[in-house]
Amino acid sequence: MSATTEADRELINDDVVAYLSAHERKSMLRFITCGSVDDGKSTLIGRLLYDSKLLYDDQVSALESDTKKHGTQGEKIDFALLVDGLAAEREQGITIDVAYRFFSTEKRKFIVADTPGHEQYTRNMATGASTADLAIILVDARKGLLTQTYRHSFIASLLGIRHVIIAINKMDLVDYAQSTFDQIEADYREFAKELGFESITCIPVSALEGVNITTKSRETPWYNGAALLPYLETISVRGNLSEKPFRMPVQWVNRPNLDFRGFSGTIATGTVKPGDEIVVLPSAKRSKVQSIVTMDGNIDKATPDMAVTLTLEDEIDISRGDVICAGKAPAEQTDQFAAHLLWMAEEKLFPGRQYLLKTANRIVPVTITELKHKINVNTLEHMSGKTLELNEVGFCNFNLASPIAFDAYKENRRTGSFILIDRRTNATIGAGMIDFSLRRAKNVHWQDLDVNKTERASAKNQKPCVLWFTGLSGSGKSTVANLVEKRLHDLGRHTYTLDGDNVRHGLNKDLGFTDADRVENIRRVGETARLMADAGLIVLVSFISPFQSERRMARELLPEGEFIEVYVSTPLEVCEQRDVKGLYARARKGEIKNFTGIDSAYEAPENAELDLNTAEISAEVAATKIVDYLERNGYLKA
Of the residues 545, 549, 600, 618, only one is catalytic, namely: 545
Is residue 272 within 8 A of residue 325, CB to CB? The reply is: no
What gap in Å lies between CA 566 and CA 466, rounded to an integer?
10
Question: Cα angle vertex 537, ends 536, 543, to 5°?
Answer: 140
What gap in Å lies between CA 516 and CA 350, rounded to an integer?
5
Does 21 participate in catalysis according to the annotation? no
* Amino acid at residue number 57: D
What gap in Å lies between CA 187 and CA 200, rounded to an integer?
12
Is residue 605 within 8 A of residue 567, CB to CB? The reply is: yes
String of DSSP letters for 63-87: HHHHHHHH-SSTTS--GGGGT--SH
Minimal CA–CA distance to 206: which of 76, 394, 400?
76
What gap in Å lies between CA 86 and CA 78, rounded to an integer?
15
CA distances from 421 to 162, 345, 435 (A): 28, 10, 20
Return the number of other C-beta atoms located less than 10 Å from residue 633's C-beta.
13
Ramachandran region of residue 304, left (φ > 0), alpha (ψ -120 to 50) or beta? beta
End-to-end CA distance of the chain: 90
Packing angle, helices 619-632 and 477-490, rounded to 10: 50
String of DSSP letters for 412-480: -TTTSEEEEE-TTT--EEEEEEEEEE-HHHHH--PPP-SS-HHHHHHHTTS--EEEEEE--TTSSHHHH
Instruction: Supply the DSSP symbol for 283.
Output: T
Minimal CA–CA distance to 527: which of 556, 549, 500, 547?
556
Dihedral sign of CA atoms 412, 417, 438, 450 in order: negative
Catalytic positions, please?
545
